[in-house]
Amino acid sequence: MKIIVVYGGKSAEHDISILTAFSIIKEIYFDYYEVQPVYINRKGEWLKGEPLTGPVAFSEALRLEVSQEAHFATSEGEVSTGVLVTPYDLKEEECVVFPVLHGPNGEDGTIQGLFEMMDVPYVGCGVLASACGMDKITSKQLFQQAGLPQLPYVPFNKTQWKQNPESIFNKIEGTLIYPVFVKPANMGSSVGISKAENREELTTAIVEALKYDRRIVVEQGIEAREIECAVLGNDEANTSVVGEIVKTSGFYDYNEKYINNTVTLEIPAQISDEVSAKVREYSAKAFRAIDGSGLTRCDFFLTETNDIYINEVNTLPGFTQFSMYPLLWEKTGISYKDLVEELIQLALKRYKDRQNG
């Protein structure tokens, strides 16, 4: 069977996607599979690389350039190349697509819809769950319906902001207390997110967030620990041990996550069994609320008084060997290699179940 790993993409999380693809390819069971790398460059072109029968030596080898024939670099001085293709050129009888595209057009249901139209099995959440999980406003509405506790928030769009910014300020300041967090509705890895302590900072934060999406959500800021739980499964929602992001700065933004690396992951988190059980219960409930399948990471706030608030879900979480999602499962008893295999099998099962009605 061929595993088609699709990575790169046009979003701000392009480079993270390459690192994720590198980590996954390194751990695939090559005794059973051949890997077909498919790189989507920043222009949106699909490049089919040379099929792999083993891991690549370094992540930059996966950053392909256009050529008449595929070639993989064997040293960092060489350039890897790929052939321009359309998505339908990739379809084979025995294949599973493993998308590792973070952000818009990768985990928001768009490319999942393409795979549905191609009629191929693919790893991860389907169209509905991906779209709902990616959209912070829609997911909050679903969590509210599911009875999950969450912090107050104010949603609005670009048109509302341009027509009457004063009414947006009044709504935010009448509902929330500074500090607040301003987020694009559809973006991951803390891209475009800012903390605001006053109206001046709020204005700057909104302008920044609008660079990434036309819909914005402003959330209440609180003093709390950030804890996370991984979910694995299709109709059944299996939950992992709970982990914590231990920060040295007040806000865990993009730079802290991927450049400065000033955070520590504590797995399992130092919390009571009762809190852990409640977080796992809420994670399974959130997974079902969006109709999740395959994988999802659920993020929560935990206050000093042990109040738990769901923050968001990530249907395609970071998946390098140093990322929270695979580390949570490792501490639960599933190795990275076996986790990759389980996701492939879940993709096949979901596809077959749907084929059989």
| Domain around 187 | 152-220
Residues facing 155 on adjacent strands: 217
Domain assignment present for residue 66? The answer is yes
Sheet holding 46-48, edge to edge: 65-66, 81-85, 46-48, 34-40, 2-8, 95-99
- 153-157 and 215-220 as β-strands: parallel, antiparallel, unpaired? antiparallel
Question: Cβ(218)–Cβ(181) under 8 Å?
Answer: yes
Residue 323 falls in the annotated catalytic set: yes
132 assigned to some structural domain: no
Higher-confidence residue: 192 or 27? 27
Same domain, 159 and 73: no
Q: Which of 189, 194, 240, 283 is catalytic?
A: 189
For the chain, what is the domain count? 3
Domain final position from 74, 103, 122: 122
Cβ contact 143:286 at 8 Å: yes
pLDDT per position as a tens digit, 10-64: 887 899 899 999 999 999 999 999 999 999 999 999 999 999 999 999 999 999 9
Residue 223 assigned to a binding site:
yes
Could you tell me if 74 and 182 lie in one domain? no
Residues 236 and 208 in one domain: no
Q: Is residue 98 part of a domain?
A: yes
Distance of CA 215 to the CA centre of its chain: 19
- Do both 24 and 90 map to the same domain? yes
Residue 348 inside a domain? The answer is yes
Catalytic-residue membership of 13:
yes
The reply, when asked if residue 190 is annotated as ligand binding, is yes
The CATH code of the domain that includes 315 is 3.30.470.20
Task: Enumerate the β-bridge partners of residue 301.
Answer: 226, 309
pLDDT in the model for residue 187: 73
Residue 238 sits in the same domain as residue 338: yes
105 falls in which pLDDT band (50, 70, 90)? confident
pTM of the model as a whole:
0.91
Annotated active-site residue 59? The verdict is no
Is 287 annotated as a binding-site member? no
Give tens-digit pLDDT for 258-298: 555 567 899 999 999 999 999 999 999 999 999 999 999 99
Q: Which residue in the list 11, 13, 139, 244 is annotated as catalytic?
A: 13
Q: Give 267's contacts (C-beta < 8 A, 6+ positions apart).
A: 241, 243, 244, 324, 327, 328, 331
335 in a labelled binding site: no
Clarify whether residues 21 and 69 are in a common domain: yes
The catalytically annotated residue of 80, 293, 323, 342 is 323
